[in-house]
Amino acid sequence: MQENLNVTGTLIWYYFICHREVWLMARNVVPDQDNSNVDLGRFIQEQSYQREKKEINLGHIKLDVISRGKEGLVIGEVKKTSKSEASARMQLAYYLSELEKLGLKAKGELRFPKEKRREIVELTDELRTKLDLAVRDILRIAYLEKPPGPIKIKYCKNCAYAEFCWS
């Protein structure tokens, strides 16, 4: 276990799906790389919106910039489906709050290319409070000696850790 764990957008995303997965990812337990759903997610992320791809690198965070026009900075997050939309919204809100800490005001745009759908995310006080609680709880989980026990949820079916949890 690394001493200074960075809470990342990925951990935020998993926090709203499965706490066991948060522990496994935070501890760098390598998931099953052959899982085809993991590959599809990666493929969509790499192939979609390539034409307008620009990135901001903030240390451990890499963000896709959608536009920098008179409306201000807009960052985007591409997702395979909207099934985990609430998680995706919190992940994007986390990126917006990291930018805000650096004095950059931005909006977010969630993109679901397979569904040809987009959603704008703006940082509100409610989201800031929710994020703050999530970050603290992620750290609590990551420093647990053992992972939280598996709980069967619909995401288990496509989870790269399924074999680890259920065999």
Contact residues for ligand SF4, defined by CB under 6 A: 18, 20-21, 24, 150-151, 153, 155-156, 159, 161-162, 165
Residue 84 CB, nearest distance to ligand SF4 (Å)?
A: 11
Residue 160 CB, nearest distance to ligand SF4 (Å)?
A: 7
The smaller minimum CB distance to ligand SF4, of residues 37 and 124, is found at: 37
> Rg for the chain (alpha carbons), in Å?
16
The smaller minimum CB distance to ligand SF4, of residues 86 and 153, is found at: 153
Identify which of 39, 72, 66 has the alpha carbon closest to the alpha carbon of residue 50: 66
CA dist., res. 75 & res. 92, Å (int): 8
With beta carbons less than 8 A apart as the criterion, state whether 107 and 72 touch.
yes
Residue 155 CB, nearest distance to ligand SF4 (Å)?
A: 5
Q: How many CA atoms lie within 13 A of 167 on its CB side?
A: 7
The smaller minimum CB distance to ligand SF4, of residues 82 and 158, is found at: 158
The smaller minimum CB distance to ligand SF4, of residues 20 and 111, is found at: 20
With beta carbons less than 8 A apart as the criterion, state whether 13 and 91 touch.
yes
